[in-house]
Amino acid sequence: MADYVAPEPGLCPRVAITNSTTEYVVRFRLPLLNALREGGYDPVAVAPSDAYVGDLHSAGFSHFPLRLQGASTGLVTELTALRDLYHAYRQINPALALHFTPKVDIYGGLVARRLRIPFINNLSGMGTAITRGGWLGALVNGLLRSSQGRAAHVFVQNKDDRDHVLDRNIAQSHRLSVLPGSGIDLNAFPFTPLASTAPPARPVHFVMIARLVAEKGVNEFMEAAKAAHAQSSDIVFSIAGDVPSGHSGTVSESALQAWSASPVMSWLGKVDDVRPLISDADCVVLPSYREGTPHVLLEAAAMGRPIIAADSVGTREPLIDGQTGLLCEPRDSDDLADKMLEMLHLGPARRAEMGQAGRRLMEQYYDVRLVVDAYMDKIRQILG
């Protein structure tokens, strides 16, 4: 914990930004941290140490290490994480805590409630453990009700998640708002035109960028790619992402390697800067089963790329079917292959029009400044 600096008396109110990875804070919440600093607050990231801690320090922000594993369910590991978070908040003594991702929302809510720290939670991506029935769903929803009941405010990322929260009395309507995900920095992801008239000099490139777990639709993408390529040789496919450790639904590396043995199919591993890959793509695909608001779709649309996404909670919201992209049936590789072929046959001019419409949609509804302003308004209301 050497990189954490305790505040001096009389300085700005400290705000904890707590997540299950430092990478998430750096990649998606730096605009919020900057706004907090500019607004007279002292933000500190509370998250497990990873390769992005140096980037956080370079941006001028403090980091408090936390032992927490996002995919873990072991009792000892979870109790350790809960105890660590309790001690972190005791040492930081924040005036306000901001929590992101369901596990941190639950643990952070319980700890902040115990320590009488006001907190704002972001219930992003209501996963299957939350939305399905059975004893596990009942347990997780019960924990959510207990941890969110005293939240100063709760943000969700789509209307379906809002309805879930209200229907199960997880939060009250006057303390609940819908945000467009984490928003997109339109300057960091600039519009990059697609060819609009001339025939492509190379095959049409379909790209999927995601963690390589089954619920992201990776298996469907691989099957659809093989089926679509059997119908047309004018297409190539890439998957970018790593296989997360400790996750029960990971896609096997052997399956990915076998798939990428074809000269038109590539597994690129984890790509830290996705902008060159999106720029090279003609279409970005995400056939996920359920999301909050997937940032990769915002990034792709901001850069002017048409999208194919599953008609699922969270993935359907960032596109307009037939205008900025195409929706496919969830968990249906045949329909995904059909949509890929449809996108191919639309031609470069129509794909370029879709990409331009996607950029306009991002500018109107998904600009990160809208998200930051919503947070800052709530923080000022709470802290004065």
**pLDDT tens per residue, range 265-304:** 999 999 989 999 999 999 999 999 988 899 999 999 999 9
Residue 114 has pLDDT above 60, yes or no: yes
CB half-sphere exposure, 167, CA atoms < 13 A: 8
Query: Do 348 and 375 fall into the same domain?
Result: no
Q: Above pLDDT 70, what percent of the chain? A: 90
* CATH number of residue 47's parent domain: 3.40.50.2000
Q: Is 221 within the bounds of a domain?
A: yes
Query: Do 303 and 248 fall into the same domain?
Result: yes
Q: Is 7 within the bounds of a domain?
A: no
Buried b (16+ CB within 10 A) or exposed e, 171-197: beeebbbebbbbbbbbeebebbebeee
Query: Do 209 and 333 fall into the same domain?
Result: yes
Q: What is the mean pLDDT of residues 90-112?
A: 93
- Cα distance between residue 18 and residue 111, in whole Å: 12
- What's the Cα-to-Cα distance from 253 to each of 225, 256, 260, 342, rounded to whole Å? 17, 5, 10, 30
Query: Do 269 and 337 fall into the same domain?
Result: yes
Would you state the pLDDT for residue 128? Answer: 54
Query: Do 258 and 300 fall into the same domain?
Result: yes
Question: For 23-74, what is each residue's pLDDT tens digit?
Answer: 999 999 999 999 999 999 999 999 999 999 999 999 999 999 998 876 556 6
Would you state the pLDDT for residue 244? Answer: 81
Q: What is the mean pLDDT of residues 314-324?
A: 95
Q: Is 150 within the bounds of a domain?
A: yes
Where does the pLDDT of residue 81 fall: very low under 50, low under 70, confident under 90, or very high at 90 and above?
A: confident
Residue 125 Rama label (left phi>0; alpha psi -120 to 50; beta): left
Q: Is 148 within the bounds of a domain?
A: yes
Where does the pLDDT of residue 188 fall: very low under 50, low under 70, confident under 90, or very high at 90 and above?
A: very high
Pick from 309, 374, 383, 326: which is nearest to 177 by CA? Answer: 374
Residue 112 has pLDDT above 90, yes or no: yes
Q: Which of 29-38, 44-53, 158-167, 306-315 comes out lowest in average pLDDT?
A: 158-167
Would you state the pLDDT for residue 5? Answer: 56
Query: Do 91 and 117 fall into the same domain?
Result: yes
Would you state the pLDDT for residue 170? Answer: 85
Would you state the pLDDT for residue 164? Answer: 85
Q: Is 1 within the bounds of a domain?
A: no
Query: Do 344 and 316 fall into the same domain?
Result: yes
Query: Do 176 and 300 fall into the same domain?
Result: no
Q: Is 312 within the bounds of a domain?
A: yes
Backbone angles phi, psi at 127, to 5 degrees: -70, 180
Q: What is the mean pLDDT of the chain?
A: 89
Q: How many domains does the chain have?
A: 2
- Domain boundaries, position 332: 204-366
How many residues are there in the chain? 384
Would you state the pLDDT for residue 8? Answer: 53
- Cα distance between residue 66 and residue 46, in whole Å: 6
Pick from 276, 324, 300, 323: which is nearest to 186 by CA? Answer: 300
Query: Do 154 and 243 fall into the same domain?
Result: no
Q: Three-state SS for 288?
A: coil
Cα 209–Cα 211–Cα 214 angle in degrees, nearest 5: 110
Residue 15 has pLDDT above 60, yes or no: yes
Query: Do 69 and 179 fall into the same domain?
Result: yes
Query: Do 216 and 164 fall into the same domain?
Result: no
CB–CB of 184/210 below 8 Å? Answer: no
- Paired strand residues for 62: 44
Q: What DSSP character marks residue 14?
A: E
Furthest-apart CA atoms within the chain: distance in Å? 68
Question: For 207-241, what is each residue's pLDDT tens digit?
Answer: 999 999 999 999 999 999 999 999 999 999 999 99
Taking the alpha carbons of 268, 338, 293, 283 in that order, is the dihedral positive or negative? positive
Question: For 328-361, what is each residue's pLDDT tens digit?
Answer: 999 999 999 999 999 999 999 999 999 999 999 9
Q: Is 196 within the bounds of a domain?
A: no
- Cα distance between residue 117 and residue 150, in whole Å: 10
- Write the DSSP assignment of 47-76 as a string of letters: E---TTHHHHHHTT-EEEE----TT---HH
Would you state the pLDDT for residue 1? Answer: 38
Q: What is the pTM of this model?
A: 0.88
For the chain, where are the alpha helices, taking DSSP H only? 22-28, 30-38, 53-58, 75-92, 102-115, 128-131, 134-148, 159-167, 218-231, 253-259, 275-280, 295-302, 333-361, 368-383
Query: Do 124 and 265 fall into the same domain?
Result: no
Q: Is 3 within the bounds of a domain?
A: no
Where does the pLDDT of residue 373 fall: very low under 50, low under 70, confident under 90, or very high at 90 and above?
A: very high
Residue 130 has pLDDT above 80, yes or no: no
Q: What is the mean pLDDT of residues 134-163?
A: 81
Q: What is the mean pLDDT of residues 366-377?
A: 97
Residues 6+ apart with CB under 8 A from 74: none
